[in-house]
Amino acid sequence: MPPRASRLTSGALPSAGVTVRTFSIALAVGLGLVSSAPASAAEVSLDLGSAAGVRLGNATAVGGRVTQDGAPLAGRTVRLEVKKHPFDGSWKRRASGTTAADGRYAFSPQLKRNHQVRVRLEGLPAESPYVLPEPDTVSRRRFAYVLPAFTLAFTQRGARAIRITQTYTVPKGVKLTAPTRFYVGPCKADRRGRCTAERAPFAAQAKTRRVRAGRYVARATVNIPASFEGRFSYVSCFAYSKGSGMGDPDLRCPRKSVRLD
């Protein structure tokens, strides 16, 4: 799963000619069909609003465009199909909609764990007995990542120490095992009092402990150097917990420091 940095600063042929003199009309039509070139297939694009994922409780933005030979296909039915982690089940219809004048569509499902998502363009029935129906067209599949919901806070412990607490909310069947990493750096305020520091170094790692089903907490105490002059930036990062189905399994937390955006 991606490093999730939470920052709080203190403070898409024409028909060949057929000459028919003695054959029936039906046969002439049949010959014309055989010589017709098939139409090009429709194309369905699919994009996610956030490749890194969204927090639990937020909607996942799924959108794209339906085209044919580069031209938009408007008023066509599209279906959002999903497959839930661990992705060994069947595809299920989650929502349906209609493409706009420019061929675009959009869905906003609220997912509780990682899902594979794809969009299906419904085909069209044959317009006559001599024309083949248009089949469905399916987009490529994408991974939609969902991260635990969390809050990050601190309390002061003595003159130059803080206790950082990260609280996680997950579906009750999810187990978090990866540790939580905390990064603390100077604030370096400008004339307007805004922090200008670009990075925060690693400060502590804490075990992510289960409080009850669906709730986990990680805590660490960090000393604040006198050189910070009482102003600091702090960030948390939590990696993917194997088997949790929450977040990108390929991403890791930084070892030494994190960038402050």
pLDDT digits (tens, 9 = 90+) for 15-69: 333 333 333 333 333 434 444 445 678 999 999 999 999 999 999 999 999 999 9
What CATH number is given for 38-146 in this structure? 2.60.40.10
Answer whether 38-146 and 148-259 agree in fold: yes
Phi, psi dihedrals of residue 104, rounded to the nearest 5°: -85, 155
DSSP string, 140-209: PPEEE-EEPEEEEEEEE-STTEEEEEEEEE--TT----S-EEEEEEE--B-TTS-B---EEEEEEEE--E
pTM of the complete model? 0.81
Tell me what pLDDT residue 226 has: 93
What CATH number is given for 148-259 in this structure? 2.60.40
Whole-angstrom distance, CA of residue 242 vs CA of residue 246: 9
Q: What is the mean pLDDT of residues 168-191?
A: 95
Question: Measuring CA to CA, how many Å separate 126 from each of 33, 220, 238, 241?
Answer: 13, 66, 53, 50
Tell me what pLDDT residue 257 has: 96
Provide the residue ranges of all domains of the chain, joining segments of one domain with +.
38-146, 148-259
Q: What is the mean pLDDT of residues 219-244?
A: 95
Q: What is the mean pLDDT of residues 125-150?
A: 92
- Does pLDDT of 177 surpass 60? yes
